[in-house]
Structure 1
Amino acid sequence: MLAPERRTRADISVAVAITVAVVVALLVVWSISDARGTTSSPATRPVPAAAAADHVPTALHELWHAPDEVAERPLAVGGAVVTATGGTVTGRDPHTGEPLWTYQRDMPLCAIESQWSTTVATYRDQRGCSQTTQLTGDTGARRGARSSYMDKQVAESGDGTYIVSQGPDRLEVWRSDLVRTLEFGYVDAKVNPHTQPRKDCTLLSAQLGGGRLAVLERCPNEPADRLTMLNPAPKDSTVPEEYGTHVLAEPGANEPGARILAAGDNRVAVYLPGPQPLIAVYDGNGNPVTQIGLSQPLPDSASVVRVNTSLALYTGNSVIALQPTTFEPQWTAAGALGTPAILAGHLVLPVAEGLAVLDPATGAQQSVIPLARSDYHGEAISLLAMGATVLELRDGNIYAIGE
């Protein structure tokens, strides 16, 4: 029978040293990890969805306002208004503005979007806008995350199926679980060389729609901008599949300021500036279809939103309703201060006196709801109706409006 082993003083010292080393290593890892700089405070119970508005009010006033410095338009997920400033994303009660949940990181936000009944927040670290977190719509709890090399500035938008995150050098497309389905442009880890169709191009803008990703590029030694139509989810995410790519020949295609306004079912609308500014419409392969002349150049604040069965283009002083599949103009509403929204089946449009109520089919004005805007200095307004509450995003702040 073997004699039992006895611990010596040296054995105990070694065991203590190993334990201390492990604890120190864990503390070091924790101190430099992303978790140390993250605070997540989800709602204690699911936030109920906002009830649909059953009438158009005759009078409105501001209920509350809060900083919202990152989003390009008002965002709402589930029953919460989503605001973003600094490194903090907050889900707020639409009637009071009180926080329902928060998510905070010790790094600045690059972009924020709402897709798939979730909030998608992208943060900037030493690799660019590379840290993305997905928050659930009902409580604001963390649902998913991704990390990859990205540009220091990105623009993000979605079409309900995918999100595109686009910077000047590269872009990525993500599906609902934040798995990347496409990378295009500059590739940091060149595992498979020669997979990208072109090098050193600047990505000017990108839009998803109709099973296509439209990208406007400016490439070296080319006389004008290039329009490229891509598969947003090719078989290999590192190998782009082009449906068509063309250097544009229309007037204004070599002027700074060109951008994609909208993409839809086998159509893409591109704004081309110049002495005679226009909207050029192309098919799903990038071939020209038609042109829409504009009376004046579009400002940087010009944008397109989908409302009801139409697209609405804010031109800086008016709204043009576009047919959603052909982009043909349907009607024009003058005196607009920004993009419209649907409230109780009617189109509401920000105007100087308040909110104009329009017939969505014809654009005919039916009434004006008076509204006194606080601290307003003529900046563009983006609207969203959330139940009976109307949200106005302007000048880095969100304003909730109700009866």
Structure 2
Amino acid sequence: MTLSPARRRRIDRIVAGVIALAVLALAAVVYLTSDVRATTDATGPAVPAPSAADSVPTSLTEKWSVATDPAIGAVASPYGVVVTAQGTAAVAVDALTGERRWSYDRGTEQLCAIGSGDTDAPGVTVRGKVRGVLVVSGKNGYCSQMMLLDPVTGERHYYRTSPNQAGGTLAFGGPYAGWLGAGLVELWRDDLVRTIQYGDEPAPPKPHATHTGCSFTDMIIDDQQFATVEHCADAGTAQVVLNWTTPDSAPNKPDDQDVFKHDPRATIDTGSSAARLLGITSDRVAVLVADPVPAVVLFDTSGNEVGRTPVDVPAQSIVDADRLTDTGGTRPTPAVRDGLTRFSVVGDTLIAITEESASVQTTPTPSLAQLGTEPPTPGVLASDGPAEPVTERIQDLSVGWTRQGLLGLPAVIGDQVLLPVPGGLAAVAAGNGNPGIVPDVIPVDRAGYDGRVDAAAVGSMIIETRGDLVVGLG
């Protein structure tokens, strides 16, 4: 039977209507179950960052307090906010008043971590490092959902997904941020584009492309290289591995799709049962070892030991710090950076490591022709003798000072460091820690709390994170 043109048009319209309804229904289902609908954010006003204090306070009283998830802690930002973890949400409060400024909530997704590498507040849109507050949420067993937020307003800047292992930790250094998982490390540049994936790749493009049999316990990042502490099944000592922050710098990077499969820059056997990373530059890495005696060991980019300084740090504190958590999570060395100095806390001991420019003499590696194992290149005169030493300028590291008896990370104000100690905050000189002098303690009433205390300075306020409580002192 042949349908008339009018009836065919009516059937076509009915079919088109059914298709349109199906598309709308599918879109509704996708929206109702999507991350977009599950995510809510309440942005705040643009408020100028507070000016940093130039002198330590003479007294401190509690001005405000808010709760936070003790497993995640809080982030004190120089932009004038303190970001806390409350359920599935990252909530920023004003550092001066404790009043809520903004929030970001992934809804049903677990909050994995919040972090920031900001040490100053020139504006979050300034490129060159990962600026702002990075919020990491879970999905499908990974801490994969990452959003970089403006610290002042909470507005979204960059977003990415990565197979970050649950129980991992954020790390910041140079122009990069990274995730330290127990078996997988990733680094991202300031727009969250991945530069490195190192470890047990979840879906390697080629067989045998994974770095198996090792667990990562620490990571530290600089502009041109990063280092990890690794414990491997075939090694009884802690290994430190130096790697490039981008495969483009690797001399033997693959030409095919497996861009992350290249040899590390150096693999170092520390000879110690435990190791912690205290400092890094483009030329050096400072490693705290437990054996044979506690010391800070400096290695160059080839993995050669170039310095060793014994330090007054209990060996057991190093061993205890260089472990995964009871649930298999990572615990990188807590640290605060101020200018050229990095203050790390291992156990109850603070170790100050300072970056400095230095001149060193090196001897160039002789060529094959000079060694006599290869005929000289025609037209090129071979050297008559060994290569002469040359002087190079490098970014070196040195041990500044140590102090024991700390409860957690210190706050830095001008040329002073405020150390969290029982009963309050002890003020010492940032340059030398006032050796041999019992420092004055600014009393702080912690209402009987005697656990870990991390301090930070934001404007005129001192922020203390005490387990599940964040307190503003002024």
Q: TM-score, normalised by structure 1?
A: 0.87
Q: Distance in 1 between matches of 2:220 and 2:60?
A: 35
Deviation at 1:12, TM superposition (A): 3.8
Q: Which amino acid aligns with 1:95?
A: L
Q: Distance in 2 between matches of 1:20 and 1:89?
A: 38
Residues 286-322 of structure 1, C-alpha deviations (whole Å, 9 max, x = no match):
3223333445132549633223442323344443333
Deviation at 1:193, TM superposition (A): 4.3
1:245 partnered with 2:238 = no
Judging changes above 3 Å, is the alpha-carbon distance between structure 1 residues 284 and 380 closer, same or farther for their aligned structure 2 residues? farther
Cα pair 2:417 2:427 within 8 Å, conserved: yes
Aligned partner (choices 144, 147, 154) of residue 140 of structure 1: 154
Judging changes above 3 Å, is the alpha-carbon distance between structure 1 residues 219 and 295 closer, same or farther for their aligned structure 2 residues? closer
Deviation at 1:183, TM superposition (A): 0.5
Find the residue that maps to 1:311 and give its secondary structure. Answer: strand
Residues 73-111 of structure 1, C-alpha deviations (whole Å, 9 max, x = no match):
643152222222332111211122111110001211222
Q: Distance in 2 between matches of 1:143 and 1:323?
A: 33
Q: Distance in 1 between matches of 2:42 and 2:149?
A: 11
1:353 partnered with 2:353 = no
Q: Distance in 1 between matches of 2:196 and 2:467?
A: 33
Which is worse superposed, 203-212 or 263-272?
263-272
Aligned partner (choices 392, 395, 398) of residue 464 of structure 2: 392
Judging changes above 3 Å, is the alpha-carbon distance between structure 1 residues 260 and 330 closer, same or farther for their aligned structure 2 residues? closer
Q: Distance in 2 between matches of 1:330 and 1:181?
A: 33
Cα pair 2:112 2:136 within 8 Å, conserved: yes
Q: Which amino acid aligns with 1:349?
A: L
Q: How many residues align?
A: 392
Aligned partner of 1:170 in structure 2 is: 184
Deviation at 1:130, TM superposition (A): 1.1
Aligned partner of 1:213 in structure 2 is: 226
Q: Where in structure 2 are the equivalents of 1:1-400 lying within 5 Å? A: 9-43=10-44, 45-69=45-69, 70-71=71-72, 74-76=75-77, 78-105=79-106, 106-115=108-117, 116-196=130-210, 198-209=211-222, 211-235=224-248, 237-240=259-262, 242-248=264-270, 250=271, 253=272, 255=273, 258-273=275-290, 276-291=293-308, 292-296=310-314, 297-298=316-317, 299-300=320-321, 303-325=334-356, 327-364=397-434, 367-377=440-450, 379-400=451-472
Q: TM-score, normalised by structure 2?
A: 0.75
Deviation at 1:214, TM superposition (A): 0.4
Cα pair 2:341 2:353 within 8 Å, conserved: yes
Q: Distance in 2 between matches of 1:72 and 1:380?
A: 11
Give the gaps of 5 or more residues in structure 2.
118-129, 254-258, 322-330, 357-395
What's the RMSD between the two structures over aligned residues? 2.7
Aligned partner of 2:126 in structure 1 is: none
Judging changes above 3 Å, is the alpha-carbon distance between structure 1 residues 51 and 113 closer, same or farther for their aligned structure 2 residues? same
Cα pair 1:134 1:145 within 8 Å, conserved: yes
Q: Distance in 1 between matches of 2:39 and 2:413?
A: 37
Judging changes above 3 Å, is the alpha-carbon distance between structure 1 residues 77 and 59 closer, same or farther for their aligned structure 2 residues? closer
Cα pair 1:312 1:322 within 8 Å, conserved: yes
Cα pair 1:307 1:341 within 8 Å, conserved: no
- Identical-pair percentage: 30
Q: Distance in 1 between matches of 2:277 and 2:416?
A: 28
Q: Distance in 2 between matches of 1:246 and 1:304?
A: 23
Q: Distance in 2 between matches of 1:180 and 1:66?
A: 34
Q: Distance in 1 between matches of 2:348 and 2:235?
A: 34
Find the residue that maps to 1:15 and give its secondary structure. Answer: helix
Q: Distance in 1 between matches of 2:269 and 2:412?
A: 38
Deviation at 1:335, TM superposition (A): 3.6
Judging changes above 3 Å, is the alpha-carbon distance between structure 1 residues 371 and 91 closer, same or farther for their aligned structure 2 residues? same
Q: Which amino acid aligns with 1:399?
A: V
Aligned partner of 2:328 in structure 1 is: none
Residues 153-194 of structure 1, C-alpha deviations (whole Å, 9 max, x = no match):
211111140012111121110001000000011122222445
Cα pair 1:277 1:294 within 8 Å, conserved: yes
Find the residue that maps to 1:151 and give its secondary structure. Answer: coil
Which is worse superposed, 80-89 or 18-27?
80-89
Judging changes above 3 Å, is the alpha-carbon distance between structure 1 residues 200 and 315 closer, same or farther for their aligned structure 2 residues? closer
Q: Distance in 1 between matches of 2:340 and 2:13?
A: 75
Judging changes above 3 Å, is the alpha-carbon distance between structure 1 residues 247 and 72 closer, same or farther for their aligned structure 2 residues? farther
Q: Distance in 1 between matches of 2:312 and 2:52?
A: 36
Find the residue that maps to 2:116 and give its secondary structure. Answer: strand
